[in-house]
């Protein structure tokens, strides 16, 4: 994946390949998408934080997660400063791609069709995140 700018965390593609499973590499580094309803966090609703699977940066709070029925984990907001937003005109659409601000890993896209007061739906690939439960 060619980054548009240097991110705080820099690794070679060989390093990424050795650290990530095949599906996470395809999504995080090659801007792939998992099949709808196939990701392990699609219907996951425990309390905690969802982090970037590439670098561990906290990206989404579980209090912002909702069931959008779109087939991917959905959030109505991200943790402030955790993501960068890039205009994406691939596949004949105009969308906003979301990437981790620390490592540049592709997360998914954000849409302005959310049902919550923010009006946003962060549509995220499960393979690009990992969950850290809230400490009790």
Catalytic residues: 123
Cβ pair 59, 82 in contact under 8 A: yes
By C-alpha distance, which of 128, 26, 110 is closest to 68?
110
State both tokens at 92: 């004949």
CA distance 136 to 134: 6
């Amino acid at each position: 994946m060619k980054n548009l700018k240097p991110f705080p965390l820099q690794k070679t593609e060989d390093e990424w390949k050795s650290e990530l499973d095949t599906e996470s590499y395809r999504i995080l580094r090659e801007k792939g998408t998992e099949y709808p309803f196939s990701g392990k966090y699609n219907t996951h609703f425990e309390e905690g934080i969802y982090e970037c699977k590439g670098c561990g940066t906290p990206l989404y709070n579980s209090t912002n997660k909702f069931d959008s029925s779109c087939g991917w984990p959905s959030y109505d907001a991200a943790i402030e400063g955790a993501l960068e937003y890039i205009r994406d005109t691939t596949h004949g659409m105009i969308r906003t791609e979301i990437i981790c601000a620390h490592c540049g890993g592709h997360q998914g896209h954000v849409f302005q069709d959310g049902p919550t007061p923010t009006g946003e739906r962060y549509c995220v690939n499960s393979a690009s995140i990992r969950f850290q439960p809230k400490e009790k």
